[in-house]
């Protein structure tokens, strides 16, 4: 598996040391909070409701067992025993003390991890498909490109003071599992008629206060032109992005205000200039990275007792029905381990769970682990003959919930329970909805559905992309929840629409229940997913069910 350590450790140690000295100067008063805040944000340190928060990047979601054990160590030694997976393939620690964070950064540096550029107006963690390098339908592994982008953009002087944060996602398959349409730049790997690799390039997507889907600015960009083209996009944005108003400073607003055509012309012109400066070193480097991301030595073996076990164990069978994804190598699957067990805070992982996953990845998963942007963990390469043993070990740790993609696999941001920007809670709403549908024993019958919750308009929980989205608001000092319907981050990108007024906290579950009952009644078959039924019939029946009493 790819290991960035040899190149990076020295630099990461240096950065941690630099931050240690900044903390010292803050504590002795030689830096004011106003001077210190941008410095701590450059190192992923926020101040939240109850404590500091440290956001650690997991580059393109890929993490090794020993890195996972370091996250467990951080959780145990400097936090309250757990961390929170985020929708951008990061992990957040909710309880560190400022005085401990330099030690945490040192520990991360030892295994090549860091919190650099996990905040601030710069290029954030490059995200990708959690099944990268494994998916059966993959054109090419997106991670070498992600690593190239990471190394090019990290500490790149031109990108330390962009108008606003900047997010890049890359998917290696025609089927988008990286929500490229909701990023400042989205890249989809493709092959041309001759079979050469290139990228479909999207720009101007983003959620938050003004959600927008990206648009295709280039249908096919040849492989070698990636960095000059990205540089061109960001150079144009750096010049024309609004700096007068932080809410209008994202690339999506620049694209919307100036128009895709104007942007395209400027980008193409800038691209011609920039490309001349690229000597090909980046391509040599990319070739080397591809070698480092080479697939593990897959085993050639039969399935063992896999089918027999499935026949004997209904619980194992339903877990394999929901939590597995097709793999490119014969006999293999990718396994999604959901962190959405009953009563669990969506995306929270305890130190013990992290350690167990590290062990299991070594034993059954070619030492590879991924953080998915639905706040779960993927073991990308598991041979079918090992599945039952893996399942039993996961079950022992409460990690074998058979709910990947089902109604209790809810994405939720920290909301008002932790976040200083929140206007309402998200976690308890997610828990109540999951509990409710488990109690009704409807989860399997409802099938694939995506519920996403954010505690404020910043949309960290990606609520706009939920088939059912929930946005927590403050209405005159009371938590109120706005529902959106029809969002989709994967198949046909769509921003959910509001059917009407929001609901007080105690009415949210009832509202979701009415939406689900309406769906169960009007679907043409159990195979017709909620989102497909919604697209077929439109909002009207759901609106009627939601607001029946008002009619």
Partner 1 sequence: MSKGFTPSPATPAVITANDLRQGHCVWMRDGGWTDDPREAQLFEDEAIAELALLEAMAQGTLVVGPYLAEARRGPDGRPEPAHFREAFRRRGPSNYFHGKQADLGSSEFEANNV
Query: Which residues would be at the binding site for partner 1 (CB under 8 A)?
Result: 26-29, 32-33, 47-52, 80, 95-99, 345, 416-418, 422, 425, 427-428, 431, 474, 477-479
Q: How many residues bind ligand HEM (CB under 6 A)?
A: 26
Q: Work out whether 454 is an interface residue with ligand SF4 (CB under 6 A).
A: yes
- Of the candidate residues 23, 459, 485, 533, the single one contacting ligand SF4 (CB under 6 A): 459
Residue 164 interacting entry, from partner 1, ligand SF4, ligand HEM, none, C-beta within 5 to 8 Å by type? ligand HEM
* Cβ contact 1:296 at 8 Å: yes
* Cβ contact 453:505 at 8 Å: no
**Which residue is associated with the tokens 């190149």?**
7
Tokens of 234: 């960001």
For the CB of residue 183, give the shortest distance to ligand HEM in the complex, in Å: 7
Nearer to partner 1, 323 or 454 (CB): 454
Longest dimension (CA), the chain: 68
Residues 6+ apart with CB under 8 A from 98: 23, 26, 40, 45, 52
- Of the candidate residues 59, 142, 380, 414, the single one contacting ligand SF4 (CB under 6 A): 414
Residue 87 interacting entry, from ligand SF4, ligand HEM, partner 1, none, C-beta within 5 to 8 Å by type? ligand HEM
* Cβ contact 472:456 at 8 Å: yes
Residues 6+ apart with CB under 8 A from 188: 170, 171, 174, 176, 180, 199, 200, 202
Q: What angle do CA 298, 69, 3 make, to 5 degrees?
A: 50
* Cβ contact 114:10 at 8 Å: no
- Of the candidate residues 458, 490, 497, 537, the single one contacting ligand HEM (CB under 6 A): 458
Q: Work out whether 489 is an interface residue with ligand SF4 (CB under 6 A).
A: no
Q: Work out whether 430 is an interface residue with ligand SF4 (CB under 6 A).
A: no
Residue 93 interacting entry, from ligand SF4, partner 1, ligand HEM, none, C-beta within 5 to 8 Å by type? none
Residue 121 interacting entry, from partner 1, ligand HEM, ligand SF4, none, C-beta within 5 to 8 Å by type? none
Tokens of 431: 């828990």
Nearer to partner 1, 27 or 501 (CB): 27
Residue 428 interacting entry, from partner 1, ligand HEM, ligand SF4, none, C-beta within 5 to 8 Å by type? partner 1
The C-alpha atoms of residue 433 and residue 516 are separated, in whole angstroms, by 11
* Cβ contact 48:419 at 8 Å: yes
Radius of gyration of the chain (CA): 23
Q: Work out whether 546 is an interface residue with ligand SF4 (CB under 6 A).
A: no
Q: Work out whether 48 is an interface residue with ligand HEM (CB under 6 A).
A: yes
Nearer to ligand SF4, 419 or 516 (CB): 419
Residue 206 interacting entry, from ligand HEM, partner 1, ligand SF4, none, C-beta within 5 to 8 Å by type? ligand HEM
Q: Work out whether 455 is an interface residue with ligand SF4 (CB under 6 A).
A: yes
Our measurement of the distance from residue 216's CA atom to the centroid of its chain's CA atoms, rounded to an integer in Å, reads: 21
For the CB of residue 48, give the shortest distance to partner 1 in the complex, in Å: 8
- Of the candidate residues 181, 185, 213, 422, the single one contacting ligand SF4 (CB under 6 A): 422
Q: Work out whether 459 is an interface residue with ligand HEM (CB under 6 A).
A: yes
Separation in Å, CA 173 to CA 190, 221, 495, 539? 8, 16, 22, 31
Residue 486 interacting entry, from ligand SF4, ligand HEM, partner 1, none, C-beta within 5 to 8 Å by type? none
Residues 6+ apart with CB under 8 A from 548: 514
**Which residue is associated with the tokens 């529902």?**
483
Residue 189, helix vs strand vs coil = strand
Nearer to ligand SF4, 457 or 485 (CB): 457
CA atoms within 13 A on the CB side of 478: 10
**Which residue is associated with the tokens 């290991």?**
3
For the CB of residue 373, give the shortest distance to ligand SF4 in the complex, in Å: 14
Nearer to ligand HEM, 4 or 251 (CB): 251
Residues 79-98 that bind ligand HEM (CB under 6 A): 84, 86-88, 92
- Of the candidate residues 206, 347, 415, 486, the single one contacting ligand SF4 (CB under 6 A): 415
Nearer to ligand HEM, 243 or 275 (CB): 243
- Of the candidate residues 101, 148, 460, 468, the single one contacting ligand SF4 (CB under 6 A): 460
Q: What angle do CA 140, 144, 149 make, to 5 degrees?
A: 125
Residues 6+ apart with CB under 8 A from 292: 2, 3, 144
Nearer to ligand SF4, 67 or 480 (CB): 480
* Cβ contact 200:190 at 8 Å: yes
- Of the candidate residues 150, 274, 309, 462, the single one contacting ligand HEM (CB under 6 A): 462
Helix 101-110 × helix 5-27 angle, to 10°: 170
Q: What angle do CA 452, 455, 458 make, to 5 degrees?
A: 90
Tokens of 357: 């996953």
Nearer to partner 1, 214 or 455 (CB): 455
Residues 6+ apart with CB under 8 A from 308: none
Q: Work out whether 44 is an interface residue with ligand SF4 (CB under 6 A).
A: no
Q: Work out whether 248 is an interface residue with ligand HEM (CB under 6 A).
A: no
The C-alpha atoms of residue 469 and residue 111 are separated, in whole angstroms, by 37
Nearer to ligand SF4, 212 or 221 (CB): 212
Q: Work out whether 207 is an interface residue with ligand SF4 (CB under 6 A).
A: no
Q: Work out whether 515 is an interface residue with ligand SF4 (CB under 6 A).
A: no
Q: Residues in the site for ligand HEM, rule: CB under 6 A?
A: 46, 48, 53, 84, 86-88, 92, 164-165, 167, 182, 206-208, 250, 413-414, 418-419, 421, 458-462
**Footprint of ligand SF4 on this chain (CB under 6 A)?**
413-415, 419, 421-422, 454-456, 458-461
């Amino acid at each position: 598996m790819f290991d960035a350590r040899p190149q990076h450790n020295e630099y990461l140690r240096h950065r941690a040391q630099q931050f240690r000295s900044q903390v010292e100067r803050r504590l002795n008063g030689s830096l004011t909070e106003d001077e210190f805040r941008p410095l701590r944000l450059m190192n992923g340190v926020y101040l939240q409701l109850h404590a500091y928060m440290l956001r650690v990047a997991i580059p393109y979601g890929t993490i090794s067992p020993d890195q996972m054990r370091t996250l467990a160590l951080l959780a145990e030694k400097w936090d309250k025993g757990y961390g929170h997976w985020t929708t951008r393939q990061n992990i957040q620690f909710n309880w560190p003390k400022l005085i401990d964070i330099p030690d945490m950064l040192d520990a991360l540096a030892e295994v090549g991890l860091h919190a650099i550029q996990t905040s601030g107006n710069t290029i954030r963690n490059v995200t990708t498909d959690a099944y990268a390098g494994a998916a059966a339908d993959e054109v090419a592994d997106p991670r070498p490109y992600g690593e190239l982008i990471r190394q090019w953009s990290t500490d790149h002087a031109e990108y330390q003071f962009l108008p606003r944060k900047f997010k890049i996602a890359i998917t290696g398959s025609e089927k988008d599992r990286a929500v490229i349409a909701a990023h400042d730049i989205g890249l989809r790997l493709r092959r041309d008629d001759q079979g050469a690799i290139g990228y479909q390039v999207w720009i101007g997507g983003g959620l938050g206060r003004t959600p927008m889907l990206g648009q295709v600015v280039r249908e096919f960009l040849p492989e070698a032109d990636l960095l000059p083209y990205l540089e061109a996009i960001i150079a144009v944005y750096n010049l024309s992005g609004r700096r007068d108003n932080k809410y209008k400073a994202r690339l999506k607003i620049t694209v919307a205000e100036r128009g895709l055509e104007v942007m395209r012309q400027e980008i193409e012109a800038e691209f011609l200039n920039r490309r001349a400066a690229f000597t090909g070193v980046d391509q040599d480097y990319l070739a080397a990275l591809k070698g480092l991301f080479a697939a593990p030595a897959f085993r050639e073996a039969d399935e063992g007792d896999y089918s027999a076990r499935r026949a004997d164990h209904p619980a194992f069978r339903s877990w394999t029905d929901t939590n597995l994804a097709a793999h490119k190598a014969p006999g293999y699957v990718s396994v999604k381990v959901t962190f959405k067990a009953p009563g669990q805070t969506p995306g929270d992982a305890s130190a013990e769970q992290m350690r167990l996953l590290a062990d299991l990845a070594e034993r059954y998963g070619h030492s590879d682990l991924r953080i998915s942007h639905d706040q779960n963990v993927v073991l990308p390469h598991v041979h079918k003959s090992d599945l039952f043993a893996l399942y039993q070990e996961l079950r022992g740790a409460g990690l074998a919930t058979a709910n990947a993609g089902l109604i209790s696999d809810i994405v939720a941001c920290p909301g008002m329970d932790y976040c200083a920007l929140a206007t309402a809670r998200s976690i308890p709403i997610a828990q109540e909805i999951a509990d409710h549908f488990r109690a009704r024993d409807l989860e399997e019958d409802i099938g694939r559905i995506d519920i996403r919750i954010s505690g404020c308009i910043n949309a960290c929980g990606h609520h706009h992309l939920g088939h059912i989205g929930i946005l927590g608001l403050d209405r005159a000092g009371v938590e109120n929840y706005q529902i959106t319907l029809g969002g989709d981050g994967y198949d046909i990108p769509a921003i959910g629409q509001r059917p009407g007024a929001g609901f007080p906290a105690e009415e949210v579950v009832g509202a979701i229940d009415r939406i689900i009952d309406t769906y169960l009644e009007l679907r043409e078959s159990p195979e017709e997913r909620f989102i497909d039924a919604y697209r077929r019939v439109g909002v009207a029946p759901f609106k009627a069910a939601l607001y029946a009493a008002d009619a």
